[in-house]
Every structure is written in structure tokens, then in C-alpha cells.
């Protein structure tokens, strides 16, 4: 895999090194993990924001629930 150089302030670099050491992973792996976590966090925030907007519109929320109910598939787990 090709690599490149990025510039970060010394505090961030120290924190990344500490995280790497704690996890026993390389600095590259730690940065990759952090990037993935940030992407997931932003995606979750976007979903939550859109869901809140949908819930604020009563007719849209009812339509969403009706569609979700009509397309749900049983998972085979009994309660």
C-alpha cells in the first residue's frame, strides 16, 4: 500500500502515538481506525438528524412507519 506524509501538530502526534502504543497497533493502523471511527460517527449523526426531521413531520413519519412495516421481514426469532 502506498503511503504519504501528513502534517499534524505535535500534541496530536503525541496523542496518536499514545493511542498506538496502548493498542499495540502501528501509527498507520491507528490513524486508519480513527478515520473510520470519524466517518461512522458523522454518518450516525447524519442519520439521527434526518430521522429527527422526519419525526417532526407527523404525516411523513406515519408514512415512513407504514412503509417500514410493509417491507419488514420476520427474522425467525420468537419473543
pLDDT tens digits along 56-65: 999 999 999 9
The angle subtended at Cα 29 by Cα 28 and Cα 33, nearest 5°, is 120
24: its cell numbers = 499495540
**Does residue 30 contact residue 23 with C-beta atoms inside 8 Å?**
yes
pLDDT tens digits along 16-75: 999 999 999 999 999 999 999 999 999 999 999 999 999 999 999 999 999 998 888 877
On the question of pLDDT at 79 being above 90, the answer is: no
Residue 4 lies in a domain: no
What domain count does the chain have?
A: 1
Residue 76 lies in a domain: no
**Does residue 54 contact residue 64 with C-beta atoms inside 8 Å?**
yes
pLDDT given for residue 76 in this prediction: 75
Q: Which domain holds residue 49?
A: 12-70
Q: What is the pTM for the complete model shown?
A: 0.74
Residue 20: CB partners within 8 Å, gap ≥ 6?
26, 27, 29, 30
Residue 79 lies in a domain: no
Amino acid at each position: 500500500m502506498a503511503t504519504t506524509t501528513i502534517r499534524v501538530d505535535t500534541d496530536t502526534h503525541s496523542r496518536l502515538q499514545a493511542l498506538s502504543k496502548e493498542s499495540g497497533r502501528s501509527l498507520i493502523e491507528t490513524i486508519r481506525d480513527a478515520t473510520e471511527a470519524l466517518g461512522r460517527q458523522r454518518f450516525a449523526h447524519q442519520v439521527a438528524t434526518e430521522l429527527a426531521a422526519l419525526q417532526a413531520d407527523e404525516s411523513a413519519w406515519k408514512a415512513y412507519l407504514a412503509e417500514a412495516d410493509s417491507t419488514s421481514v420476520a427474522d425467525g426469532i420468537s419473543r
